[in-house]
Structures are given as structure tokens and as C-alpha cells.
Amino acid sequence: AYVHRHEIGFPVLKDVGNVVADKFGAERTPEVFLVDERRIVRYHGRIDDQYGVGYSRERGARPELSLAIDQLLAGEQVATPQTEPVGCHIGRVKPVEPTGEVTFTKHIAPILNEHCVSCHRPGEIAPFTLGSYEEVLGWEDTILEVIADNRMPPWSADPAHGSFSNDPRLSDRDRELIITWVDNGMPKGDPNDLPPPPEFAVGWQMMQPDQVIKMRDRAFSVPAEGIVDYQRFVVDPGWTTDKYIVAAEARPDCRSIVHHILVYVIPPDAEREDIRQIVAGYAPGALPLQLPEGVAIEVAAKSKLLFEMHYTPNGSPQEDLSYLGVRFTERKNVRKLLRGQIAIDQEFQIPPGAANHRVAATYKAKADEYLISMTPHMHVRGKSFKYVAHFPDKRSEVLLNVPRYDFNWQLKYVLERPIHLPPGTEVRCEAIFDNSESNPTNPDPTITVGWGDQSFDEMMIGFMETVPVENDF
């Protein structure tokens, strides 16, 4: 199916039982072995350096395999005969007899259900599923690697600052259980110990929506390769009365090409989109908007919605018709209105080669309010991001520190307990950008970089969500 979907023009054979992989000693997929007419390996490693651990290049990748082939066909020595392959471990049956008290059904399944299955299930963003014992087998080496590197579950906040209700990280005990289970040969355990699988609404992470709104009336065509400009589609949802949204989820139709979605409200009297009120967003790792009881987003009658779409071609032509699901409540059930706030700088200029360029912006609270969540946003040169509150009584507090910002995981950080922002409180957001050659995702370290929509441009936005201390209604 993969070969046909991507219209691969060269022969592809299935390595049943890993026979060929074992003979070559291959450990990862993809991993290349280029052999000459005497069956001597002349190049071993990756196809190119477009993808690495935690990054992908949109341009400027070095075609290492292609260069090796050209040199070999020209009768030359391959200049770089060895590179480091990057990818998932090739799953193999372990020659270990399962033993021990730590079992999948009693210990491992509950951990996966709590921390992994929301993404690692059919139709979601993860590349494989982890809903059963059989599905986990073969992924154990990859699982051990990503939890050791703290790559999974994805989370970038410094634990020294703030407590967040959506923190998915594994406890030390959970890590040790997984390691012990793999070391002991992954015993399955008693089927009676298996917990029931988590329940998810069909196709949705939130509860079934009251209304589904498509981004437009027809699919958008994405080419096989190249850079696709940000697409913006304005949609009339048909709201003839004021709406009070309590849950919203943006969902990609073709997940393999949708990098992110942002859906904004355009009020009926607005001349342009208002970036301060986001209804929902989708990015790898993002959760749907689900507000506490009594809190809602107020949307005026006759408002429109703006879908901002960022597409990344995946090697074959695709079509996408993404959509938004929303749940409503009546005004009588609403006590407080959720408000979108931002700290933003659109005038910065990052010099060529700068490895630690600092950009700052401030949001000042005009009313007595509670801070609910924070979402830092930069592009591929983003290095770190910090929110610091400066209170009227001269106190300061680091609200959120993201020391290693990752463009691939644009996360919302929802506070476990809302933070009181008295009038006059300033929330200062500080971003560090890396425009140097040492940044593997940097498209071009030789240019000055400013604000722009594409990921090879940059942005500096500190999104925040607040609710008033006093009830609105």
C-alpha cells in the first residue's frame, strides 16, 4: 500500500523474518547499504540528512546516498562511505524466555493507556498503534530509546517552574516498570488483569461535536514536494445568534501533510482576522479545547471562521479537507468568558549566524484575571521560550520555561492551578533564536530573518488564555 500510495518507481521487496536485515546487520529503518558489482558495501547509512532526531529540514538537505551512487558509477571512491542512520529500530523477536512478575496486562497496558494510546491508536497522529500486546511487540527498542531520551511522551516544560494539568510525562516508577518488562522478555500476563481500553469518541479526542465545519467546500491539493505557502480559508459557519463554545477540536483530513491548523474567530465588524481569539488549533501533540464548567468562548452572531493551514508535502500528491468540531452551551450556563491574550513582536530582525538572538514582548493585564494556559510559538530557528510574570507588588515568577523549543511539538501548557494576575501585572515573554550553522533545522544561516508566515521565516508569539476574576454573567 505504501509503495502504491507514493508511486515508488523502483522494486520494493518485503524482508520476511528480517533475513536480509540480519545478514547486513541493519538496525534501523530506513538504513541503506550500497553494494558494488562484487557485492562489497561501498556506502552504509542514511538516505540524506533531511530528517534527524527531533528535526526535519525543509530545504538544504545533503543527498548522501545520491552522491555515493554518482561516485560509485563514476568509478570513484565514495567520499563519505559511512553516515549515521536515523529512524525506528527494526523490530525483532527476542531470544529471551519471558519471565518475572512485571507483565503487560497488569503493569504496562495501564501505563500505555494513560500516556500513549490517545495518539498511538488508529486514525491518530502516531505512526504506529500501542493498543494491544501484539501491537507493542517489535517496538520495544524504540520505546526504550524515546523514554530514555525524554522524547516521548512529548513535553518541553522545565519541571522547575510550574505545574501543568496536561503534563504527560512518565513517572520514574513507570519508566522502571517498562525497562524491567523489556529486560524480562515482555511477558504477557493474565488476560484477566488487562484493563478496559480507554474510550474515545469516534474520530474525535473530545466528546462528539454539536457542529462540524469544513475549511472550505472542496479539498485543497498539495503537491508531492516543494514549499506550500500558508493557506487561509474564511468560512461562514451560519451562526445567526451568539454562540458559547465549551469545546473545540481542529482535525486534519490528511494527517501526513498537515503540519498545523489554527482556527480564528473573525467578528462581524472586523476588517481583518483577530489573532487574539483562537477557537482551536491542531499541531502534533496538541489537545482539543475543553473548558471547565461555567467557562466558554463567546462568539458574536454572524462571525466567520478563518482556517490557517500549514502543509508539508510528503513525497506524493495529496488532498486535504480539514475541519473543526465544536460543542456549545447556553448562555445561562456561562459565568466567565475565556479570553485570548498575546505578547507579540513582529519587528525583530535576527542577524545572520546569530546563535542566541533574544527577542522579548510583554502582555499587561488591564483587569483582574486568572491565567489559564500558555502556548509559545516560534518557527524552526526557535531555541527557547520563557514566560515571566512581574506583579504590581514587585514580585516576579517564572510561569513557564521551555529550554529546548521544538517546532515539531507546539504544545499548550495548561496550568494545574490558575495564576492570579492583578491589574497592572506584566507577563514578559522572552524568546531565543538560533540562526547559526549549528542549528540543523536552519534553512539558511547566511540571511537576516524577520517575521513571516512560512516556517523558513520566523514568529514570536506568547499566546495566553485568561478568565476574569469576577463573573461576566
Range of the domain at 419: 339-468
The answer to whether the CB of 203 falls within 8 A of the CB of 250 is no
Note whether 27 and 59 are same-domain residues: yes
Domain boundary among 269, 300, 334: 334
CATH code (residue 59): 3.40.30.10
Dihedral, CA of residue 5, residue 7, residue 11 and residue 14, to nearest 10:
-10
pLDDT of amino acid 271: 65
Cα 68 to the center of its chain, rounded Å: 33
> Please, which pLDDT band fits residue 227 given cuts at 50, 70 and 90?
confident
pLDDT value of residue 8: 82
Does a structural domain hold residue 96? no
> What pLDDT was estimated at residue 447?
98
Same domain, 370 and 455: yes
Pick from 9-13, 226-230, 413-417 the range whose average pLDDT is largest: 413-417
Asked if 351 and 312 sit in the same domain, the reply is no
The pLDDT tens digits for 78-131 are: 999 999 999 999 988 777 788 999 999 999 999 999 999 988 988 777 889 999
**186 versus 6: which is more confidently predicted?**
186
Strand stretches in 196-288, DSSP E: 211-214, 220-222, 231-235, 243-251, 258-266, 278-282
Q: What pTM was estimated for this model as a whole?
A: 0.84
* pLDDT at res. 226: 79
Mean of pLDDT values over 7-27: 89
Integer Cα distance of 410 and 376 in angstroms: 8
Nearest-angstrom CA–CA distance, 210 and 207 = 9
Q: Any alpha helices (H) in 37-168, and if so which ranges?
A: 64-73, 109-115, 133-136, 140-148
The answer to whether residues 314 and 352 belong to one domain is no
Answer yes or no: do 328 and 234 share one domain. Answer: yes
Any domain includes 203: no
In a domain, 473, yes or no: no
The answer to whether position 205 is within a domain reads: no
Pairing status of strand 243-251 against strand 323-329: antiparallel
Q: Please, what sign has the CA dihedral across residues 450, 308, 273, 324?
A: negative
First-to-final CA distance of the chain: 55
Cell 561516485 found at: 71
Cell for 40?
Answer: 562489497
Domain count along the chain:
4
Residue 388 confidence (pLDDT) above 80: yes
Q: What is the pLDDT of residue 341?
A: 94
| Residue that terminates a domain, selected from 160, 193, 226 | 193
How large is the average pLDDT for residues 218-246? Answer: 93
Helix 172-183 vs helix 140-148: crossing angle, to nearest 10: 150
The grid cell for 431 is 524568546
